[in-house]
Structure 1
Amino acid sequence: MKTNYFLSLVALLCISYSLNAQEDKPGKSASDLARELANPNATLGQMLFPIDFIDYNGDIDGASGQNATVINFQPSLPIPISEGINLYVRPLIPIYTSQPTTTASGFVQESGFGNISADVAIGKTWPSKWITLAGVFGGFKTASNKALRAKQTTLGPEIMVAKLTSFGAVGIIITHAWGIGNIDDSNPESSAILANDFWPSSDGSSSTSITAGQYFYTINLDKGWQITASPTYAYNHNASSGNKLTLPIGTGIQKVLKFGKLPVRIGGQYWYYVATPDAFGPQHQFRLTIAPVVPLPW
């Protein structure tokens, strides 16, 4: 029920934005917007809804065939500071409609609100068409279901380096998360393997130390079509041997469509994990992204 209320609130927010969407840019076509959105430091507002469908594999009994569905919401409303310099404050709110968790008796599917993460960063576009971004990234123990809750609050630095090219853009984001405070062992019988809490050490007592991020590219095609991907990777420094690295390769396609005055970026990506934790980890992932492009409120 809480999930339905949240999604309804977000839908109303997007509808309210659409009533006056793009009034300040009346001449921009969907194709022009698609090319502008390829710039990771573009001064454009988006309400992103990445929806992930994940298949798992691993050595644990019952790991093969486990799957998850996650609906994410990430508003991105850059705050212009000066020409080519923007401030970003971007929360990411996951909703797990199904997520496998490990228990003493095997796997159990759980659902609920996930652990909210957020970054605060400043991006700058240089005359050379290089883009840099620096800031901080944090993850918080906000999951409504204890089985989905991270063991620790995390905090650490974030950097991005990207290049605008003749064909589009390419870049990489790197973050490092250190655990802050005590490790939460209030629910030792059930544990989810989540993006911010990859397979832990054998005794589960190690503090979080994860280097993660994503690499991304966008290739502009005709009529607003784009080839694009933004797979996420992670290296858990404290995981046991064989369970440290999670690395996918991926590709996809997207296009900006207009619904009345409201532009919406719609795309799909497929990721194949060339490295995944031996015990239990993702093997295949499909991401559907729906992102209304909205005017900035400032």
Structure 2
Amino acid sequence: MENAMASARRIPDRLICYLGLIITPSPAFSQSDEDLAKQLSNPVAALISVPFQFNYDGSVGPNRDGYKYLLNFQPVIPFRLNDDWNLISRTIVPVVSQNNIAPGSGSHTGLGDIVQSLFFSPSTPTANGLIWGVGPALLLPTDTDPLLGAEKWGAGPTPVLLWQANGWTYGALANHIWSFAGDGNRSGVSATFLQPFLNYTTKDAWTFGLNTESTYDWEHHQWSTPINATVSKLLKLGQQPISIGGGVRYWAASPDSGPHG
């Protein structure tokens, strides 16, 4: 464990890495790399993608001696309901490995809680270019260790709205989840998630992004506010498009058990 901790501390304190597989329509309906990269900035694009997001955070816990690895598997699958509406399924499956997030907590590795979102979204933007979607978000108690999840069932609304013009994508995604069942010995869940984002995509399919992934815990009255700066590039492996990127994170606010600085 000492070797693992030493290796972790040689990594920059805040690290985000992305790898995304994009499944495109048939060649007759193929799009430019720039257009595909822009669609990846749109959470409700009618495009199948299979992102993997690796996160590393150091200085975790009240003693600042913990660290956390998080791999999010985030498949996005659109369903065409009719000529006017799509249903977009977005799933976040977290795989977590953490150490010393609380004094004496030790190491824990396993699956966290899955968050499943469904967005009903118009197939075309509005007259002023607004792209939007709304639907339910579900919290599923799939954690394999009590310290890796809330052990609660939860649900709530999730909206997203954005605009795209001249290479820019800007907007926000949000949800609020309340718990309604689960382990009665654990605290209830009442949490608001806010993700404003600003991305710019170049003609050669580079995308530069800035966002926050803020969560307010209404049960404990605490903010968790990471600010992320990212860069990604859409590439082709044969005919298969993939997106690869990375970034850095600064924690503007965090509870005692979370990352700092």
Which of the five TM-score ranges fits, normalised by the shorter chain? Answer: 0.7 to 0.9
Which structure: greater strand fraction? 2
Q: CA RMSD in A?
A: 2.4
Where does residue 174 of structure 1 map in the other structure?
174
Q: Does the alignment pair 1:39 with 2:16?
A: no
2:50–2:74 CA contact under 8 A, matched in 1: yes
Mapping for residues 194-233 of structure 1, pairs under 5 Å: 206-233=187-214
Residues 117-132 of structure 1 correspond to what in structure 2 (within 5 A)?
A: 117-124=115-122, 125-132=125-132
Q: Which runs of 5+ in 2 are unaligned?
A: 1-20
Answer whether contact 1:164 1:170 (CA < 8 A) is retained: yes
- Identity percentage over the alignment? 23
What does residue 295 of structure 1 align with? none
CA, structure 1 residues 87+222, in 2 after alignment: closer, same or farther (shift >3 Å)?
A: same
| Preserved CA contact (<8 Å) 1:215 1:230 | yes
Which residue of structure 1 aligns with residue 3 of structure 2? none
Q: CA deviation at 1:83?
A: 4.9
User: Alpha-carbon deviations, 1:114-157, whole Å to 9, x = none?
Assistant: 11110112123212111121111111111122332314211111
Deviation at 1:110, TM superposition (A): 0.5
Counterpart of 1:50 in structure 2: which amino acid? Q
TM-score, normalised on structure 2?
0.82
1:83-232 to 2 correspondence within 5 Å? 83=83, 85-98=85-98, 100-102=100-102, 106-124=104-122, 125-185=125-185, 206-232=187-213
TM-score normalised by structure 1 residue count: 0.72
Q: 2:260 pairs with 283, 286, 298, which one?
A: 283
User: Which moves more between the two structures, 208-217 or 132-141?
Assistant: 208-217
Q: Secondary structure at the match of 1:31?
A: helix
- Structure 2 counterpart SS, 1:33: helix
Cα pair distance change 1:111/1:26, threshold 3 Å? same
Alignment of 1:61-100 (within 5 A): 63-83=63-83, 85-98=85-98, 100=100
Classify the secondary structure of the residue corresponding to 2:39: helix
Residue 269 (structure 1) aligned to one of 233, 247, 250: 247
Q: Which runs of 4+ in 1 moved over 4 A?
A: none
Q: Deviations for 1:150-175, whole angstroms, at most 9, x for unmatched residues?
A: 14211111111212222321111111
Gaps of 5+ in 1: 1-13, 186-204, 285-298
CA 1:144–1:172 in structure 2 vs 1: closer, same or farther (change >3 Å)? same
Between the two proteins, the alignment pairs up a number of residues equal to: 239
CA contact (8 A) 2:206 2:231 kept: yes
